[in-house]
Amino acid sequence: MNPYFIVDTDKLFEQASDDLQVAVTANGFGVLAVLDLGESLRSKGINFTEDCRVFEVCNPQQAAKVLMSNMKLTMALPCRISVYTEAGQTRIGMIRPEGMLLNLSSEPDLMEVAGEVESSATAIIQAAASLSTG
């Protein structure tokens, strides 16, 4: 299975970023932070022409289940969804939580949580890619 889930969208980068925030909230998650990696690189004098924002998102109930089971998994939280451009194409994607967690734990309860989170995050990405805010 592909470790990434990435959807191309016809939206411009800014619109996709705005729509992702709407989709995150609509699906019971919250945005904890937004890292503008493209701007950060440019501010350091690097000639980086693509746009890239990483949204750190979290569902508190799901995060609590993970942390109560295994505190080492703090290093895998929160979930990250990226909006970025690549050769003129706007994309929204993530590393699949199930695959990532499978490499970090074999606990069945955690795999169930990872599956639920992946399902929600996939829905968030698909909604953001197609959401019409006009």
Rounded to whole angstroms, how far apart are CA atoms 4 and 94? 6
- Residues 2-55 have pLDDT tens digits of 999 999 999 999 999 999 999 999 999 999 999 999 999 999 999 999 999 999
Q: Which CATH architecture has domain 4-130?
A: 2-Layer Sandwich (3.30)
In percent, how much of the chain has pLDDT > 90?
Answer: 84
Q: Where are the domains of the chain?
A: 4-130
In three-state secondary structure terms, 12 is coil
Q: What is the pTM of this model?
A: 0.92
